[in-house]
Every structure is written in structure tokens, then in C-alpha cells.
């Protein structure tokens, strides 16, 4: 009779080992599934953040053309046309300078990529900075417009560095 007891005991040990292995296998697969799910959530958040940054950036870019004051200045800034000297253009010109300062602040706070901002808006900031007609009626001292000058300085460096176009890896 004791032989049966030993058999039952051995069978119990084998069953415990089998259940233990199956349990460990199940735990392993659950942890793996949990990690895959977490990685997918992280990837989804990153994708969502990229889309929001893109939407935000395109809204900024659209603002230049949709805002009537900014667009009025933008049409004249390339050629530094004499109409920029007119008194009714002074406030729209200041508005454009403030726009460039906002871009500089967004770059400083890492909300938008510096290279992208310089590529998209840098040319206009250089036109504004060096335009005699544009600066007419505005006190162009660095102490009043330091962020604008900082952005414009960076735009000139960017323009010198990438004369043939934007850097290859540039992306929103």
C-alpha cells in the first residue's frame, strides 16, 4: 500500500510542476502582452504629439497669410517697398516683429524645431531686419526687439550654413 502512496505523491509533484510551468508560461505571455500594449500606447502618444506639433506649426504659418495686417506687410517686405514707410503700416510692421519674437520664444521653449522655424520664417525676418523702409517708424534698437534680433541672427547663420536648401533630416 505504501507503494501507492509514493505513486500518488510523485503524481502530485509532477502535477504541481506541470501547473507551475503552465503558470509561469502564462505569466510570461501576460507580461509580454502588457509590454507590447504599453509600447503601443507610447507610440500612439508620440504620434499624437507629432500631429499636434504639425498642426500648431501649420497654424502659425497660415497666420502669416490669413491675418490681414501680417499679409499686408508680407506682400511688401521682399522688395522693401516704399509703402512700408507709410504711417498706417507701422502697427502691422510691429505686429510682424512680435510674430517673430513669438517664434523665438517657441524655439527657446522647445515647442517648435529651430531649423524648421528658421527655414519657414527666417527669410522674412532677415528682410524685416535689413529693410530700410520696413524699419522706418520703428525704433530698431536691440534692447526693444532682442528676441527678434536673436531670431534674425540665427536665420542669417542658418542661411549661410544651408545655402542650397534645408538640412536633409529636417522634419516637424
- Number of domains forming the structure of the chain: 2
Domain that holds residue 129: 67-172
Of 31, 97, 27, the C-alpha closest to 69 is 97
Q: Are residues 40 and 73 in the same domain?
A: no
* pLDDT tens-digit map of 46-58: 999 889 888 988 9
* Residue 59 belongs to some domain of the structure: no
Of 120, 126, 131, 59, the C-alpha closest to 89 is 131
Do the beta carbons of residue 160 and residue 119 sit within 8 Å?
no
* Residue 101 belongs to some domain of the structure: yes
Banded pLDDT at 73 (limits 50, 70, 90): very high
Contact partners, residue 166, CB within 8 Å, separation at least 6:
115, 119
Instruction: Supply the pLDDT for residue 5.
Output: 76
Give residue for cell 504639425: 54
Q: Are residues 77 and 41 in the same domain?
A: no
Q: Are residues 4 and 36 in the same domain?
A: yes
* Residue 131 belongs to some domain of the structure: yes
Rounded-to-integer distance, Cα 20 and Cα 153, Å:
67
* Residue 55 belongs to some domain of the structure: no
Q: Are residues 1 and 85 in the same domain?
A: no
Evaluate if residue 167 carries a pLDDT over 80. Answer: yes
Rounded-to-integer distance, Cα 55 and Cα 57, Å:
5
Q: Are residues 26 and 83 in the same domain?
A: no
* pLDDT tens-digit map of 120-143: 999 999 999 999 999 999 998 889
Q: Which three cell numbers stand for residue 85?
A: 514707410
Evaluate if residue 160 carries a pLDDT over 70. Answer: yes
Q: Are residues 141 and 90 in the same domain?
A: yes
pTM over 0.85: no
Q: Are residues 145 and 105 in the same domain?
A: yes
Amino acid at each position: 500500500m505504501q507503494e501507492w502512496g509514493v505513486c500518488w505523491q510523485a503524481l502530485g509533484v509532477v502535477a504541481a510542476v506541470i501547473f507551475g510551468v503552465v503558470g509561469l508560461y502564462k505569466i510570461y505571455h501576460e507580461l509580454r502582452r502588457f509590454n507590447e500594449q504599453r509600447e503601443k500606447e507610447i507610440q500612439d502618444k508620440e504620434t499624437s504629439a507629432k500631429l499636434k506639433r504639425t498642426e500648431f506649426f501649420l497654424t502659425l504659418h497660415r497666420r502669416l497669410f490669413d491675418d490681414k495686417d501680417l499679409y499686408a506687410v508680407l506682400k511688401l517686405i521682399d522688395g522693401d517697398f516704399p509703402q512700408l514707410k507709410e504711417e498706417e503700416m507701422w502697427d502691422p510692421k510691429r505686429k510682424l516683429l512680435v510674430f517673430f519674437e513669438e517664434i523665438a520664444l517657441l524655439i527657446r521653449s522647445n515647442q517648435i524645431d529651430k531649423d524648421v522655424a528658421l527655414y519657414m520664417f527666417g527669410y522674412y525676418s532677415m528682410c524685416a531686419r535689413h529693410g530700410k523702409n520696413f524699419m522706418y517708424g520703428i525704433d530698431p534698437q536691440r534692447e526693444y526687439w532682442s528676441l527678434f534680433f536673436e531670431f534674425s541672427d540665427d536665420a542669417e547663420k542658418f542661411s549661410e550654413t544651408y545655402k542650397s536648401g534645408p538640412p536633409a533630416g529636417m522634419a516637424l
